[in-house]
Structure 1
Amino acid sequence: MMTRFLILCMAMVAALGFAGQPAHAQVTAYAAGQGSVNSITVGVDVRASVRGRCGFATGGAPSGSIDQADFDQTGFTRDFAIQLNCSGASRIAISSANGGMAGSATGGQGYAAKAPYQVALRMVADNGTSASASCDASALASGGACSFAGVAGETKGLRLAGASTKANGSYLRVSAPAYSGADTLVAGRYSDTLSITVSVSP
């Protein structure tokens, strides 16, 4: 059997920030006989903020494919490197189109047309801190319960606490052991598509 595994990446860039407070001045003037002549005291508060930025670095989005023959007997595993360009904490999330390796043919009684596999994330920040998690592909389909399933947002996805702007060893891993399901996999091509998004996180 042959299998083709395709990964498509969509970079979602979100920003957080707070508007700077307006600058203001305090002025105190003295008239003759009431203090220091021609003395003026000025205090100026200057406030500003920098919005967080987050996305994939140029060329840093995970991409590629797996084409593994007889994966039901041999299984497969492959890592796809990730490099972020996030100035602060970030979240990354993944969705699966099929919730598993879906076959091109329809299975009958005693046969299966979808094979399970696993997806793992390991994210590393510039300061060496890291975050990792893994889920079955079935938990990454629409409505899936994986902690990093769906579309990344401020509170959704695997959270990396520190800034990440370098090639720190972050990766997405897809893997499956030899198939051991009760029903035999029907012959044909199997595939799934993963979509990966990233967002800033408070």
Structure 2
Amino acid sequence: MNGFRWLAVIVAMALCAVASNAFAQVTAYAPGQGPVNSIAVGIDVRASVRSRCGFAAGGAPVGTLQQADFDRTGFSKDFAVVLNCTGASRIAVSSVNGALATDTNSPGLASRAPYTVELRMVADNGTTATASCAATGLAAGGGCSFGGTASTTNGLQLGAASTKANGSYLRVSAPAYAGATPLAAGQYADTLTITVSVVP
């Protein structure tokens, strides 16, 4: 430290000698010396990111099931679901008819055929949520646990983030028709709508 102080004195003297004709004086300070004040200021920076939830691009379940003579063969088909939810979510399904239905009106014959809807949702961490309901439970007031429109309190709850293709699906299925009243000939259809909501 003494070496630095001596150097500072020499520099000051040299500068004074050079600038003496102009009557100026310059003082140089060695590192760590001099009248420099240091003030510490703490700045607390905080931010937050809200959960987002929806279907990934191309991840909404879409498609059509075409099955001839389903009354004799039954059917089963999976529709892939890919979410883009950064936290917990709820998924719900609604049905227009609550069954496969036809406009054909034949006395003594049935015009509605039951079927089942199953949801299997998989999170990024491998946890799953699975449930199934008869289509009748997905119609308005049907009482299925994941029936209706998804909200923060309604729908099948997946407790963790799901942001990629994890094997989630919506499955529609039915065995061969076993009702006491035969089905009328015709085209049968139903429309399912699946919705997703973030869980705070």
TM-score, normalised with respect to structure 2: 0.79
Counterpart-to-counterpart distance in 1, 2:53 and 2:177? 38
Task: State the superposition RMSD in angstroms.
Answer: 1.4
Look up the SS of the partner of 2:136 in the other structure.
helix
Look up the SS of the partner of 1:72 in the other structure.
helix
Match of 2:139 in 1: 141
In structure 2, runs of 5+ residues without a counterpart are 1-36
Counterpart-to-counterpart distance in 1, 2:48 and 2:67? 50
Deviation (angstroms), 1:52: 0.7
Moved over 4 A (4+): 38-41
Alpha-carbon deviations, 1:125-153, whole Å to 9, x = none?
01101100000000000111111101111
Match of 1:75 in 2: 74
Deviation (angstroms), 1:40: 4.8
| Aligned ranges 1:64-143 → 2 under 5 Å | 64-108=63-107, 110-143=108-141
Counterpart-to-counterpart distance in 1, 2:65 and 2:158? 27
Alpha-carbon deviations, 1:132-175, whole Å to 9, x = none?
00000000001111111011111111111111111100000000
TM-score, normalised with respect to structure 1: 0.78
Counterpart-to-counterpart distance in 2, 1:142 and 1:104? 20
User: Identity, % of aligned pairs?
Assistant: 68
Higher relative contact order (CA 8 A, sep 6+): 1
Q: Give the number of the structure whose residues are more often strand, by fraction.
A: 1
Look up the SS of the partner of 2:196 in the other structure.
strand
Deviation (angstroms), 1:41: 5.3
Q: Give the number of the structure whose residues are more often helix, by fraction.
A: 2
Look up the SS of the partner of 1:73 in the other structure.
helix
Counterpart-to-counterpart distance in 2, 1:102 and 1:186? 10
| Aligned ranges 1:2-13 → 2 under 5 Å | none
In structure 1, runs of 5+ residues without a counterpart are 1-37
Match of 2:22 in 1: none
Counterpart-to-counterpart distance in 1, 2:38 and 2:67? 82
